[in-house]
Amino acid sequence: MISIRPFLQLCRLPAVFTALADIFLGYLLVHNSLLSGREQSPVDFLLLLGTSASLYLSGMVWNDVFDRHVDAKERPNRPIPSGRVSVRAAVMFAVTLMFLGLACAAFVGRNTLLVAGLLTLCILLYDGGLKRTPLGPIAMGGCRFLNVILGASSDWLRFEQVWWRPQLWVAAGLGVYIVGVTWFARTEARQSSRVHLGLAMCVVNFGLAILIGWLTRAPNPAVTPALFVLGVIGLSINRRLLVAISNPSPERVQAAIKTMLLSVIMLDATIIFAKLGQPGAGYAIATAALIVPAMMLGRWLRLT
């Protein structure tokens, strides 16, 4: 009997909720509701969630497929090097997830399929060759950028409108933030360099600064409380980063990475509230609630 847990470990299931939060964010940056009937069906929103989740999970699986020889030395307990999942089964799993994501995108419309295609290309470039080059963090940041844009890729917009503000600015901020997170995580399996961690911390904060810059321009009374919440999130992130930099052991670096990844959900929720104001508080809370299954599953399955 095939055990499902190794496959869930392979795709790092808890982290998928950060990708779903991006779809909430991207969608609500171009809609005022998840139930907008004239412009787009709620079914399309669910398909966008399916697209993002499938492509994100497939990227995680491809990551382990391409890294299996490195993991055999650094992380022998991962599903592939430990023999719990064969390479063939992992490849089939990744291909199935990727096909499912693109199929969901096709049902939404041309814009979504084009953005999903770009996201798929970025995932394969990162996992297949760029990960261990200086362009690796940029490629991963590009994936997060495109994931937010995916949520905004409503087919009632012209394709060039998909890339307009506010989604372009917000997606860029989150993309830069993930560049820093990825840089911080590059040597998480062994003792990290304080210099590299410090530089990555600067990039993380630059991404947060971009988001703060957008918030200060958002014409909404909710901006002030949103800025306060974003400040609290930033302080929490930086506290974890400083702890890791002071002692860059794998355990502390991985704890900081987990905090930064889960914080994406709260960042997305805060921006939604800043954009929609009090009428959108329910959507912001629903987005923030995604952190609950992420943390609960994170006790059973690793995020990194």
Q: In the predicted model, is pLDDT for residue 37 greater than 70?
A: no
Q: Select from 304, 252, 301 the least CA-distant residue to 5.
A: 301
Structural domain contains residue 275: yes
Radius of gyration of the chain (CA): 19
Is residue 211 a part of any domain in this protein?
yes
Scan for tokens 């994501």, then name that residue.
101
What is the average pLDDT across 128-148? 95
Three-class SS state of 84: coil
| Lowest mean pLDDT, pick from 11-25, 181-195, 213-227 | 213-227
Query: Measured between alpha carbons, how far is 3 from 84 in angstroms, rounded to an integer?
Result: 9
- Chain centroid to CA 29: how far? 17
pLDDT digits (tens, 9 = 90+) for 39-50: 567 889 999 999
Backbone phi, psi, residue 222, to 5°: -75, -5
- Give the CATH number of the domain where residue 75 resides: 1.10.357.140
Helices 250-276, 291-298: inter-axial angle, 10-degree rounding: 170
The verdict on residue 303 lying in a domain is no
Look at 63-67, 107-111, 143-147, 189-193 and tell me which has the smallest mean pLDDT: 189-193
pLDDT at 230: 94
Mean pLDDT of 107-119: 95
> Domain containing 288: what range?
5-298
pTM for the model stands at 0.93
Give domain status of residue 202, yes or no.
Answer: yes
Residue 70 has what pLDDT? 87
Query: How much is the pLDDT for 223?
Result: 84
Residues 103-130 have a mean pLDDT of 95
Is position 15 within any domain? Answer: yes
For residue 165, tell me if it sits in a domain.
Answer: yes
Q: Averaged over 121-140, what is the pLDDT?
A: 94
Does residue 304 sit within a domain? no
> What is the pLDDT, as a whole number, of residue 39?
55
Please give the tally of structural domains in the chain. 1
Hey, what amino acid is at 73?
K
Contacts of 200 (CB under 8 A, 6+ apart): 180, 181, 183, 184
C-alpha 172/C-alpha 130 separation (Å) is 20
